[in-house]
Amino acid sequence: MMHSKIPDSLRNLAKPLFSPLTGFPNTEEWNTARVISTAALILTPLVLVAGVTVQPQTGSVRDTGVMQAAYFESAICMGMVYLMGRTRWWRVGFLGGVLYEFYVIYQQIVLQSAHDTSSIANPLVWLVALIAACSLFLPLLYTIMTAVMSVLFIVALPILIAPVTITDIHFSLFYVGTMALFFVLTAFIRGQDQQRLQKQREALISSESRYRVLFEASFEPLVIHEGGFLVDCNPAFLRMMGYESLQDVLGRHVLTLTTPEEAENVRVYIAAQKEFYETKARRKQGDVIDVQVRSKPIIYQDRPMWVVALVDVTDQKKAEAERIRQESERQRGAILRQFVSDASHDLKTPLTVMNTSVHLLYKIHQDPEKTVRYLGKLGDQIKTMDKLLDDLFLMAKLDNPSYLADRMSVNVHNLLNEIVLSYHAATEQKHLTLDVTLEGEPVVIQGDERELNRALDRILTNAIQYTPEGGQIHLSLKRDAQYAIIAVQDTGIGITPEEMPLIFSRFYRADSARQAGKGGMGLGLPIALKIVESHGGSIEAESQPGAGSTFRVLLPLEAAAG
């Protein structure tokens, strides 16, 4: 806690010392002026300390008072450079400081030459520091002017100060001149770099300006985020989400703009860097809209971010839902019409036969043989109607949410053996071969034996109806780790690939069955599927036209069901 507070405290304390006193044309100029003012602020107390602590060298007659005055004047000069560095006239302050340092150096040379001309090279070395400072902070022209002034200053010393000769300045002239050339070249290279950077900066500003125009003018809602936090967005996004100001959304996480149910999905999409997905967005007013999201990585403000384009597909979703509803209604209507047609036919036929049989019975009541034959027909049609009505009532019962089959242990071996025996007469009548294969130990499941019998009865009845005379039907049972698998395989007429997805639909009857006049109202397989699903199982079907069909009933074993 202390480590995070101390820098903030120091920063708040130092902020008034470096805050600009006037405006600056650009940030780069302000940064340069701040460096100069900071350097001047640091050097000022150092120069004062040096002036206070200066001591005359032993055996010399150097005027200590003059030396101290020079240090104090330099401190005042540094203070002026510091103050000017906080204004737009920082160049004037810097050049003033440079000129004053020339004067200070001149004073030191006068003092040195009065006693020992061989030591005047010491103050002249400071001219190199002035040239170096100009090459760092001022344009090339100022550096050249300072370098030329320094060389001319050294050349003029024998003229200005009588004791000084060419020999005394020979080394200083060579050294300062060489370093002046070096720093002039340095300033030239720095200037070229600054020009190149300026062109790049201008190109970047121009590019960002064009980007901003396109970004703002886009009709498509756009968002830029970094790690899920919104960095920028365009007016189209604000309009779509119902916000008025950019500040209302900047800094917010995208998860706050979606629904709680979709938040985790969006979090996963962002973490996986998914580039296309659909989700829901919550507008400012609270209403929810469906949106398609397309995103891609970009470099924005010199940092990797993601730009996201959103499309409001709420109306499309509603239109698609309405289209599906209408198509469902159309299919439901077609199924209902087909049901009414089939039901009318299936119910009218036995009624017609019954009516005819009753009429004939009135006429032939004295002929016992004919009476028995017609009574048999009458009984068969009554059974057909009873089965049709039983299927309708059973389907209604299975659709009831409160329906729950009685559960008890059912021995599937015994169940299949009983079913095979019950179909003995029906298979013999059509000369069909019905055999059964029961693998392994007796299989036990949890279920309603009567309902399971009904389900298998529907499947086996279909196999008998659609298998021609002389065909074969094979019933088998095996088990795996979880399920008892009952298979009913026949050599019947088969089912076409187009009809296969529809065979478990209610009231659906294949064209081949309808043309042959076989089957009921198309409820047998749907009833079987409902019963099996109520037991936690499923039905699989495969078929080839002309080669027969195979239906597999998968029922969970007793241990798995428990």
| Residues with Cβ within 8 Å of residue 506, at least 6 apart in sequence | 335, 339, 395, 522, 523, 526
Per-residue pLDDT, 140: 85
Q: How far apart are CA 515 and CA 371, in angstroms?
A: 32
Q: Which helix (H) or strand (E) holds 484?
A: strand 483-490
Please check whether the two domains, 218-312 and 408-561, share a CATH topology.
no
Torsion angle of the four alpha carbons 267, 272, 275, 278, in this order, in degrees rounded to the nearest 10: -40
Q: Which tokens belong to 328?
A: 């469902």
Which residues touch 116 (CB under 8 Å, ≥6 apart)?
none
> What pLDDT tens digit does each residue of the chain (562 aa) get?
334 444 566 666 667 777 788 887 777 778 778 888 888 888 888 878 877 786 665 444 445 676 777 778 788 888 888 888 888 888 888 888 888 878 878 877 777 776 666 677 777 888 888 888 888 877 788 889 888 988 888 888 888 887 788 888 888 888 888 988 998 998 888 888 878 887 877 776 666 666 666 677 778 888 889 988 998 888 889 888 999 888 888 888 888 899 988 989 898 888 888 889 999 999 998 899 999 999 999 888 778 898 899 989 988 888 888 888 888 777 766 666 666 556 655 666 666 666 676 666 666 666 677 777 767 776 666 776 766 767 766 766 676 666 655 678 888 888 888 888 888 888 888 888 888 888 778 888 888 888 898 889 889 988 888 888 889 999 999 888 888 899 999 998 888 888 888 888 776 666 555 444 455 567 788 888 888 888 889 999 998 888 889 999 999 987 655 4
> Which CATH number is 218-312 given?
3.30.450.20
This prediction has a pTM of 0.39
**What pLDDT is stored for residue 539 in this prediction?**
92
- The answer for residues whose C-beta is within 8 angstroms of residue 483's C-beta and 6 or more apart is 537, 554, 555, 556, 557, 560
CA–CA distance, 222 with 249 (Å, rounded to integer): 13
The domains of the chain are located at 11-198, 218-312, 317-399, 408-561
> What are the CB-based long-range contacts (under 8 Å, 24+) for 492-499?
492/463, 492/466, 492/467, 492/468, 492/548, 492/549, 493/466, 493/467, 493/468, 493/545, 493/546, 494/543, 494/544, 494/545, 494/546, 494/547, 494/548, 494/549, 495/541, 495/543, 495/545, 495/549, 496/545
Question: Is beta strand 408-411 parallel, antiparallel or unpaired with respect to 229-233?
Answer: unpaired
CATH number of 408-561: 3.30.565.10
Closest CA to 218 of 248, 238, 246, 204: 238
Sheet arrangement for strand 472-479: 433-438, 472-479, 483-490, 548-556, 538-544
Yes or no: say if 430 and 469 are a contact pair by the CB < 8 Å rule: yes
Q: What does the alpha-carbon distance between residue 71 and residue 104 come to, in Å, rounded to a whole number?
A: 9
Residue 278 near residue 293 (C-beta atoms within 8 A): yes
Phi, psi at residue 67, to the nearest 5°?
-65, -45
Distance CA 61, CA 480 (A): 115
- pLDDT in the model for residue 8: 61
Residue type, 97: G
CB atoms < 10 A from the CB of 215, how many?
Answer: 17
CATH code for the part of the protein at 317-399: 1.10.287.130
